[in-house]
Amino acid sequence: MKGKFITFEGIDGAGKSSHVEWLADWLRGQGKIVHITREPGGTPLGERLRQLLLSEPMHLETETLLMFAARREHLAQLIEPALARGEWVVCDRFTDASYAYQGGGRGLDRAKLLTLENWVHGHIQPDLTLLFDLPLEVARERIALTERSLDRFEQEKADFHHRVRLAYLERAATHPGRIQVIQADRSLEDIRKTLEEIITTNCLK
Ligand code: TMP
């Protein structure tokens, strides 16, 4: 049986990353072999590109091309071989993030994103995308509490993050089967219960 490809998305501060590990453990409990990975990153080259992308000022199209370059490598080295072996891949962000951040946040023409999407993974899409959504102010408060230094995206102003959130919600509205919106300003237990239900209905039955 082919493995499943599950992606996590959301604005910075939505708290999605803390659920990635939990979901992978839960799936392992269901007998699945699960890889946890992230974008940008996920391969040695991708992680080097990530360092540049999160710190180095660059042209918007350079940023977009590097995101997709890292993605191409990630698909080739990790995602596709794992799925072909029947294993599961849980990935913290994927192409919806490019539509939200480079498209929504920075205003890149969607047609260019579509060209790159078709080029890099026209043949493969996530089986399920969990979009963690919450009011911008709550996400901003969470980011403000972070002790580490903020990356290039986290440092952007509130209106940037507002556009990112709207673009994510717009993607969810246009891909209702694949993208499930999770209300992220709830307790950990409530969110886990929702995740369990969604995965059981969409991926295990
Ligand atoms: P992370 O903080 O969730 O690890 O993601 C790193 C940042 O990269 C996050 O602020 C969103 C951004 N990003 C994009 O702008 N475009 C993309 O395609 C991806 C995958 C991430």
Structure tokens at 148: 């580490």
* Residue 39 Cα to ligand 1 middle (Å): 7
Q: What is the mean pLDDT of the chain?
A: 97
Report the pLDDT value the prediction gives residue 26, as an integer from 0 to 100: 97
Per-residue pLDDT at 205: 84
What distance in angstroms lies between residue 1's CA and the mean position of ligand 1's atoms?
31
Residues 6+ apart with CB under 8 A from 166: 104
Number of the ligand 1 atom closest to the C-alpha atom of 154: 10
The dihedral built from the CA positions of residue 151, 82, 131 and 69, taken in this order, carries a sign that is positive
For residue range 62-87, what is the model confidence (pLDDT) as tens digits? 999 999 999 999 999 999 999 999 99
- Residue 96 CB less than 6 A away from ligand 1: no
Report residue 50's pLDDT band, with 50, 70 and 90 as the boundaries. very high
Strand-pairing partners, residue 6, are 90, 128
Q: What is the pLDDT of residue 2?
A: 77
Q: Is the CB of 7 under 6 A from ligand 1?
A: no
| Of 184, 45, 174, 42, nearest in space to 100 by CA | 174
Question: What's the pLDDT at 96?
Answer: 98
CA 39 to ligand 1: nearest atom: 20
The percent of residues in the chain predicted with pLDDT above 90, rounded, is: 97
Of residues 41 and 205, more confidence is placed in 41
Tell me the CA end-to-end span of the chain in Å, nearest whole number. 13
Q: For residue range 19-42, list pLDDT tens digits in order.
A: 999 999 999 999 999 999 999 999
Going by their DSSP bridges, the two strands 34-38 and 179-183 should be labelled as unpaired
Answer yes or no: is the C-beta of 66 below 6 A from any ligand 1 atom.
no
Q: Which two tokens stand for residue 135?
A: 């009011």
Residue 39 in contact with ligand 1 by CB distance below 6 A? yes
Ligand 1 centre from 87 Cα, in Å? Answer: 24
Question: Which mutation among 37, 58, 64, 101 tests ligand 1's pocket best, with the greatest number of atoms within 8 A of CB?
Answer: 101
pLDDT score of 102 more than 80 = yes
* Predicted local distance difference test score (pLDDT) of residue 1: 62
Ligand 1 center–CA 21 separation, angstroms: 18
Residue 16 CA: nearest ligand 1 atom is 3
CB count within 10 Å of CB 30 equals: 12
CA separation for the pair 39, 70 (Å, rounded): 8
Query: CB atoms < 10 A from the CB of 119, how many?
Result: 10
The secondary structure of 72-127 as a DSSP string is HHHIIIIIHHHHHTT-EEEEE--HHHIIIIIIIIT---HHHHHHHHHHHHTT---S
